[in-house]
Amino acid sequence: MSQFTLITFNCFGVPAPQTGQRLLALAAALDASQATVACLQEVQARPYRALLARACRTFPHSAFEPHVHAPKGGLLTLARQPITATAFTPYRERGQWFSPALADMALAKGVLRTSFACDGQLVVVLNTHLNANYRGDWLTDNAYARVERKQLRQLAELVQAEPADALVLVCGDFNVPRDSALFREFLFDSGLLDPLAGDTQPTYRPLPGIPARYALPIDFALVRAPQGIAITQQSQIIFDQRVRFAQSGAGFLSDHKGLELRIEWGVL
């Protein structure tokens, strides 16, 4: 049986006094994991991208799209095995400049694609971070939800464009809850499966001042298996406990929790 393990995590890499310490603690946790690939979101400064690439000593390969102040989309993919190809696709719809979506626009959000050859099997990983919904309202007539819907449709197009014989893994911070019509529509359009379907545990931990109603499952690691391949999959929430930082203090690694997806496959 062949194996592939993916970790996805919104690392909250925004400039702040303790960000460097948190990211170093994250690097240690990733090095201690069994992940083949780690997909990170919200790497919001070039020095943090360099810190993570340097500190994750057991992940010698990385992919990102350069941008003005940070990787495009705030996306960074780290890998323990060689990356065979990489590409970044910007979202066509990214909101309005004169709105709270300005931060999303500045990051130039999109989808970071990496591919791998695993025991002769093409594995494609799509790492993404959708626009935030600043109203916490996911009805389709809401302005923020309309942007998310267009991004989800483009993401579904990218999934469908992948070769039929590819094992496709789509992960990241969707900013859309699992029980929303938007997410259900996306799963139908993309043909992806959610290994944690029905799980209501929140993956977002609101910071002080943010309403508790935003504590929802909005981070995902989704799968499309190729025909002729029998796969088993197991997914779990990780990075949900406080940790000690290297120099001083302790805290959570992010305002999000992470997901670990383990896949094994063999020929039918």
pLDDT at 86: 98
pLDDT at 211: 86
Structure tokens, 237: 């929430």
Q: Which residues pair with 251 in a beta bridge?
A: 243
pLDDT at 92: 94
| Contact by Cβ (8 Å): 169, 221 | yes
Assign 3-state DSSP to the chain and report helix, strand, coil percentages, each to 5: 25, 35, 45
- Phi/psi of residue 148, each to 5°? -60, -40
CA 196/CA 207 separation, integer angstroms: 24
With a cut of 50, which residues of the chain have pLDDT below it? none
| Contact by Cβ (8 Å): 77, 85 | no
**Cα-Cα-Cα-Cα dihedral sign, residues 189, 7, 15, 62:** negative
- Which domains occur in the chain, in start order? 2-267 (3.60.10.10)
DSSP helix/strand/coil, 51: helix
